Structure 1
Amino acid sequence: MSNIVQTFCRAFLVYLVPIVTVAAAYLLLNEKITTAALLGTFLTLIGLFISERKSSQKKVA
């Protein structure tokens, strides 16, 4: 069971890397957030939400 949890946590963190990168670039380097970056962040969050939803549905079934 712990292998499944570790794999899930790693996958979750991989999804968050681009979002954290955009936020860090904005906060630390004063980079401008472009429309493409916002769109990419939005799509990443949607993908994360979908994968979480499918994962929770498999556990119930």
Structure 2
Amino acid sequence: MRFLLDMNVSGVLLNLLLDSGHDVACVRDVDLKMSDSEILDWAVREKRIIITTDSDFEQMI
């Protein structure tokens, strides 16, 4: 599966997903100040599942 991890996701989850063979991209590796709408656009463009603890995404979708 293809995931996009928001800045607030733990490194433990990142390692678990990578160790399980998933394709994982991380917002923190690209731009720590990326807006929620930019993150959503990225996920849609690359067909990734967003993993976040930010409740704003629920309202956006």
- TM-score bracket relative to the smaller structure: under 0.3
The structure having more radius of gyration, on CA atoms, is 1
Higher RCO structure (Cα 8 Å, ≥6 apart): 2
Provide TM-score, normalisation by structure 1.
0.28
Give the TM-score of the pair, scaled to structure 2: 0.28
Greater share of residues in strand: 2
